[in-house]
Amino acid sequence: MRRKYQLLMIEKIRNNKQLGSIGIFDSGVGGLSILKEIRNLLPHYDYLYLGDNARAPYGTRSFDSVYQYTLEAVTWMFGMGCPLVILACNTASAKALRTIQQKDLAKIASNNRVLGVIRPTTESISQYTKSRHIGILATSGTVKSDSYLIEIARYSPDIQIVQQACPMWVPLIENNEHLSEGGFFFIEKYIRQILLKDDKIDALLLACTHYPLLIPAISSIIPPHIRLISQGTLVAEKLKDYLLRHSDIEQRCSKGNLVRYFTTEDKNDFSEKARLFMDEPVAAQTIQLSRLDNSTGCKD
């Protein structure tokens, strides 16, 4: 039964020629920091945001789980008509993007596209450092993947990088504890750790979409010569450029200034948290993602 449903869904995605929203996916609410900047720059498009809050955080999950969950989310978003999905989650971009682009897309929707947030960030990062020493703050999963080291070495091989995993930050934000005294303790802890690793750092990259909510606290800790880089504007600029260069995809993106929000968890809880990021009321809907069998051919 499940297999029949999956085949029907894949058939529906393949035949879809209609206009659709740009999909923005994250493990939780963090990707809203990316959506916000994309909307500021490209307000006329429609957007569909999905947060997999029921299974967040992704940062401490295995490679295979993040890949499987991300593939389920992307398949659902294609089913909702999105011609283009942005993985607004560093962990999903690090662990799932390449396999989905190289193996799954051809099977589920070869005309659609999936993009991540790591490439657009690393392409632009060079302009933020004079000392050529950068610190990367990210989830354990992103740090372990070494994606930032690999990508930065490709575009700016002269830059020295140190990384710091910050496993407590996403749970603090998801539970709205990041402004508490206990929250500040963990913010300070990881910042001190990364600064001890390299005293020449003059830029710190917030390589997790949740972290922009910590900017006021981090700014109060770091020396004034260190720049904090968040990804939202970088990703938005690169998306604008991508749409200019790919008119086939751009023409399939609907333009009605509409944003729809979906979560795999409680919709009221999501809406409440989302308000913190978007600075406006958010009305989310709850959905369930279907597990994909290996037998669909979507997974190797």
Residue ranges in contact with ligand DGL by CB under 6 A: 26-28, 30, 56-59, 89-91, 139, 142, 170, 208-210
Instruction: Verify whether residue 166 is a known catalytic residue.
Output: no
Closest contact distance (angstroms) between CB of 154 and ligand DGL is 20
Closest contact distance (angstroms) between CB of 73 and ligand DGL is 12
24 vs 80 by CB, closer to ligand DGL: 24
16 vs 190 by CB, closer to ligand DGL: 190
Could you please report the per-residue DSSP string of the chain? -HHHHHHHHHHHHHH--S-BPEEEEESSSTTHHHHHHHHHH-TTS-EEEEE-GGG---TTS-HHHHHHHHHHHHHHHHHTT-SEEEE--HHHHHHTHHHIIIIIHHHH-TT-EEE-SHHHHHHHGGGG-SSSEEEEEE-HHHHHHTHHHHHHHHH-TT-EEEEEE-TTHHHHHHTT-TTSHHHHHHHHHHHHHHHHH-TT--EEEE-STTGGGGHHHHHTTS-TTPEEEESHHHHHHHHHHHHHH-HHHHTTB--S--EEEEESS-HHHHHHHHHHHHSS---EEE--PPPPPGGGSS--
Closest contact distance (angstroms) between CB of 30 and ligand DGL is 3
Residue nearest ligand DGL, CB atom distance: 59
Closest contact distance (angstroms) between CB of 173 and ligand DGL is 9
133 vs 144 by CB, closer to ligand DGL: 144
Instruction: Verify whether residue 89 is a known catalytic residue.
Output: yes
6 vs 209 by CB, closer to ligand DGL: 209
Catalytic annotation, pick one of 89, 166, 253, 298:
89
| Catalytic sites, residue numbers | 89, 208
